[in-house]
Amino acid sequence: MAKVKSIYCCNNCGAESPKWIGRCPVCGEWNTYVEQVVAAKPTHTRDGLQPPTGAKSKPLRIDEIASASEPRVDMGDAELNRVLGGGLVRGSLVLIGGEPGIGKSTLILQTVLSLNDCKTLYVSGEESARQLKLRAARIGDDNPDCYIVCETSLENIMTHVQNVKPDLLVVDSIQTIATETLESSAGSVAQVRECAAVLLRFAKESGTPVLLVGHINKEGSIAGPKVLEHIVDTVLQFEGDRHYMYRILRSIKNRFGSTAELGIYEMRQNGLRQVSNPSELLLSHDHDGLSGVAIAVAIEGIRPFLIETQALVSSAAYGTPQRSATGFDLRRMNMLLAVLEKRVGFKLGQKDVFLNIAGGIRVNDPAMDLAVISAVLSSNMDMSIEQGTCMTGEVGLSGEIRSVTRIEQRITEAEKLGFSRILIPSHNVSGMNLSKLSIEVIEVHKVEEAFRLLFG
Ligand code: TYD
Ligand code: MG
């Protein structure tokens, strides 16, 4: 195949060069040159305007455009369907990103094996067909509609696609495939971008949905899915701590649905299991009498769940006190500790504080604040919080408990899980009918008040 002309462009200042250079002579930055394809035909005339093309497109008034709902493919997996916004849209390009080894290939293989009447072509650039078969055997599923090919050349992949004519194309992973038209190696920015552009064109022209797998490393590598985010329609991120069993599928960008969605899975010996009631996993039931544990009612996506917050406060063994938080923003924890120091009068300045959110899950809901504060207080005083108590509320800088969103949903979830009392912000109480509830709802205005309620 004829080589497409390519140039090297500085990522920092945009300077161009026919060859790769280590240090940009214009801006002086190191290692910023990336390969780019030069368009074959000049699309601009000399005065910089597009030549007239015989007006194929025509501007339409927005009320004239027919609003057809997007036809969607049911993925047979309630969590995945929800994160995608109700199924996979035909002709869409979906990127599933995540650290290596988190379970992306397992999730996709498991999903395509369970699809009915959907011919799938699974292109793997990382594993051999035998390895994939072994994995399928481990998951315990088989599907005659699923075709596997191990290929890393984009041109060959497109030939296979024309022969198989799949209803769904999976490419695992985008960093391993390369087009022959570029000299740079697979996984470089130019290759990733070019291959994704070809697959995007294929998806839009044929109406076939395409799932791409992309690795990200801890630094969010530039040759990773970051360069793809604006090209694809949907970006899903598969995350979780490899040492824990839980995996979270988060939607980061979705042109066909909400990005507030979250899917929770559990990694088992025989594949991933959907977790439809996360609270069951995130609560351990034997913390009676233990200090430093508080149960928070948080909302991620549309689902409320109860989650255990643990804190350990101890005198600093070394000169500088240590502060560490797992699953919670460290700066926010420091802010909450400062509020405690100022409002409740606890001297935490010379103490080590460790905070841990159970299950290795990262929660961003500000309504966690009250539980974090309560867990710290409980550990500091070595007094346990009465069992059956949960709480929700954001803490402001002056120690006030601020209202949270969707309070009814939170209370109902706590009630459903058998909790006997819930602490909520007093601003949330107005206009609520509390008489029907079997759970005791206690309103709190301030951190001091919560402290008195919990520890007498
Ligand atoms: P994998 O899907 O290969 O990760 P990725 O494609 O994101 O790199 O999954 C990797 C891990 O999952 C691997 O360490 C083994 C584990 N695993 C299970 O625990 N149970 C299973 O059934 C399977 C298939 C994998
Ligand atoms: Mg993989």
Per the structure, how many domains does the chain have?
A: 3
Confidence check: pLDDT of 65 > 70: yes
Give the integer Cα–Cα distance in Å for 423 and 455.
13
The model carries a pTM of: 0.74
Q: What percentage of the chain carries pLDDT values higher than 70?
A: 92
178 and 101 within one domain: yes
> H or E element: which one contains 304?
strand 303-315
Q: Is residue 49 part of a domain?
A: no
> pLDDT of 30-50, one tens digit each?
888 888 777 655 545 455 555
Q: Is residue 46 part of a domain?
A: no
Confidence check: pLDDT of 374 > 90: yes
> pLDDT of 273-332, one tens digit each?
988 877 776 777 677 778 999 999 998 877 788 899 999 999 887 778 899 999 899 999
Ligand 2 centroid, distance to 98 Cα (angstroms): 10
Ligand 2 centroid, distance to 241 Cα (angstroms): 16
23 and 129 within one domain: no
pLDDT value of position 8: 86
Ligand 1 centroid, distance to 138 Cα (angstroms): 10
Confidence check: pLDDT of 384 > 80: yes
In this prediction, residues 51-78 reach a mean pLDDT of 77
Spell out the residues 6+ positions from residue 182 whose beta carbon is closer than 8 angstroms to its own: 4, 6, 35, 37, 190, 191, 194
Taking the CA atoms of the chain, what radius of gyration do you get in angstroms?
A: 27
Residue 222: band (very low, low, confident or very high) from pLDDT cuts 50, 70, 90: very low
Mutate to test the pocket of ligand 1, among 96, 102, 106, 139 (most ligand atoms within 8 A of CB): 106
317 and 430 within one domain: yes
333 and 189 within one domain: no
Last residue of a domain, one of 261, 276, 291: 276
pLDDT value of position 50: 56
Last residue of a domain, one of 250, 276, 302: 276
424 and 318 within one domain: yes
328 and 435 within one domain: yes
In this prediction, residues 391-419 reach a mean pLDDT of 91
Residue 190: band (very low, low, confident or very high) from pLDDT cuts 50, 70, 90: confident
Domain span including residue 36: 3-40
Q: Is residue 395 part of a domain?
A: yes
* Ligand 1 proximal residues by C-beta, below 6 Å: 98, 100-106, 135, 138-139, 267-271
**3-class state of residue 112 by DSSP:** helix
CATH assignment at residue 271: 3.40.50.300
Spell out the residues 6+ positions from residue 227 whose beta carbon is closer than 8 angstroms to its own: 189, 192, 193
Which has more confidence, 182 or 174? 174
Mutate to test the pocket of ligand 1, among 95, 243, 267 (most ligand atoms within 8 A of CB): 267
> pLDDT of 413-432, one tens digit each?
888 888 899 999 999 888 77
Q: Is residue 60 part of a domain?
A: no
Residue 223: band (very low, low, confident or very high) from pLDDT cuts 50, 70, 90: very low
94 and 141 within one domain: yes
E strands in 344-445: 351-357, 389-391, 394-395, 401-402, 421-425, 440-444
pLDDT value of position 130: 93
**Token pair 């938080």: residue:** 325
Output the six-digit token pair for 417: 């899980």
**Closest C-alpha residue for ligand 1 atom 12:** 103
Cα–Cα distances in angstroms (integers) from residue 164 to residues 120, 145, 149, 187, 189, in the given order? 9, 11, 11, 26, 29
**Strands 168-172, 234-239: pairing kind:** unpaired
Q: Which atom of ligand 1 is nearest to the CA of 213?
A: 6
Q: Which ligand is nearest to the CA of 267?
A: 1
Which has more confidence, 191 or 14? 191
CATH assignment at residue 370: 3.30.230.10
Output the six-digit token pair for 148: 């596997």
Give the integer Cα–Cα distance in Å for 31 and 22.
5
Confidence check: pLDDT of 51 > 90: no
Ligand 1 centroid, distance to 102 Cα (angstroms): 6
227 and 344 within one domain: no
331 and 187 within one domain: no
> pLDDT of 230-266, one tens digit each?
889 999 988 887 777 888 898 888 988 887 778 889 8
Q: Is residue 58 part of a domain?
A: no
Ligand 1 centroid, distance to 147 Cα (angstroms): 20
**Closest C-alpha residue for ligand 1 atom 22:** 271
Assign residue 193 a region (left: φ > 0; alpha: ψ between -120 and 50; beta: otherwise).
alpha
Cβ–Cβ < 8 Å for 157, 171: yes
Q: Is residue 66 part of a domain?
A: no
Angle at 173 between CA 169 and CA 176, to 5 degrees: 120
Q: Which ligand is nearest to the CA of 216?
A: 1
256 and 370 within one domain: no
109 and 10 within one domain: no
Give the integer Cα–Cα distance in Å for 443 and 393.
10
Q: What is the mean pLDDT of the chain?
A: 85
Ligand 1 centroid, distance to 22 Cα (angstroms): 37
Ligand 2 centroid, distance to 152 Cα (angstroms): 14
Q: Is residue 50 part of a domain?
A: no
Q: Which atom of ligand 1 is nearest to the CA of 102?
A: 7
In this prediction, residues 424-451 reach a mean pLDDT of 88
Question: What sign does the CA torsion over 413, 415, 419, 424 have?
Answer: positive
292 and 266 within one domain: no
Give the integer Cα–Cα distance in Å for 166 and 49.
40
